[in-house]
Amino acid sequence: EVQLVQSGREVKKPGESLKISCRISGYRFTSHWIGWVRQRPGQGLEYMGIIFPHDSDVRYSPSFQGQVTISADESSNSVYLQWDGLQASDTAVYYCARHVNYDTSKNPAFDFWGQGTLLLVSS
Amino acid sequence: QSVLTQPPSASGTPGQRVTISCSGDYSNIGNNYVYWYQQFPGTAPKLLIYKNTQRPSGVPDRFSGSKSGTSASLAISGLRSEDEADYYCAAADDSLSGHAVFGGGTQLTVL
């Protein structure tokens, strides 16, 4: 069974750093791209970027380039999303999602999703 | 302001056919495939339609997608109360280095 299990809720202060995780099981970790999607409270979905765990090829959406770091660790079958200086505007739910292997990585085709990680940034 | 434009809300009665529109331009919908997601409150999105018209395994055939030019639509026939959810369209956008964009979402209410 394919599963993407994300790390738990986080409460942080502005300026702090954070790394959230998405642990993958049920298929070969290196075979699918993994994307990250942001959803601010009461708002829609925003595509952040995507990584290919096989070689850690990362593509960031222009809006998120330089704002976050996406990485992967084959030894832990996990993909990560990291911030070096959180802002209140980063408050959101963050989803990791598996890209399908029957479509090109640029297309937003995600068949399995994590449960979401809620991040609250407040002073 | 989302690159892809959806109506914020839609509604229908059980058994009815409802359509949700998604409007873009040549750099996204006009030149790329369209995808549709369903999201219930507090849960992750679910892929409903890929490559304009294709349904993943397990998605009922009550859900169908279409595309014409720079617009796309999601149709739900035989509307059921359990279809009440938010629906998002998405597509790659060549003006954003090919990265994906989502529509603002449409909240569907089953009356």
Q: What is the pLDDT of residues B31-41, one digit of tens each?
A: 999 999 999 99
Q: What is the pLDDT of residue A65?
A: 94
Q: Considering only the beta carbons, identify the residue of A47, A100, A113 that sits closest to B100.
A: A47
Write down the H helix ranges in chain A.
none
Q: What's the CA gap between B34 and A23, in Å, rounded?
A: 28
pLDDT band at B81 (very low <50, low <70, confident <90, very high): very high
Phi, psi for residue A108 in degrees, rounded to 5: -80, 65
CB pair distance less than 8 Å for B90 and A47:
yes
Q: What percent of chain A has pLDDT over 70?
A: 100
Give the tokens for residue B67. 């595309």
Q: What is the pLDDT of residue B97?
A: 80
Q: What's the CA gap between B59 and A7, in Å, rounded?
A: 28
Q: What's the CA gap between A91 and B4, in Å, rounded?
A: 23
Cβ burial of B61 (10 Å; 0-12, 13-18, 19+) is exposed
What's the Cα-to-Cα distance from B2 to each of B23, B30, B82, rounded to whole Å? 10, 16, 27
pLDDT band at A102 (very low <50, low <70, confident <90, very high): confident
- CB contact, 8 Å: A49 with chain B? yes
Four-residue CA torsion sign, B8, B13, B14, B19: negative
State the average pLDDT for chain B: 96
Residue B53 identity (one-letter amino acid): T
* Contact assessment for residue B22 and residue B103, using Cβ atoms and an 8 Å cutoff: yes
Least confident segment among A81-90, B1-10, B34-43 = B1-10
DSSP B95: G
Q: What's the CA gap between A98 and A72, in Å, rounded?
A: 13
Rounded to an integer, the average pLDDT of A32-56 is 96
CB pair distance less than 8 Å for A100 and B51:
no
Mutate to test the interface with A, among B33, B99, B102, B106 (most CBs of A within 10 A): B99
Residues of A7-24 as b/e, b for ≥16 C-beta within 10 angstroms?
beebebeeeeebebbbbb
How far B77 CA lies from chain A's nearest CA (Å)? 23
How far A119 CA lies from chain B's nearest CA (Å)? 14
Residue B1 identity (one-letter amino acid): Q
- The pairing of beta strand B46-49 with beta strand B100-102: unpaired
Q: What's the CA gap between B13 and B111, in Å, rounded?
A: 5
Q: What is the pLDDT of residue B98?
A: 73
CB contacts of B32 in chain A (<8 Å) are 106-107
* Contact assessment for residue B71 and residue B15, using Cβ atoms and an 8 Å cutoff: no
DSSP A100: P
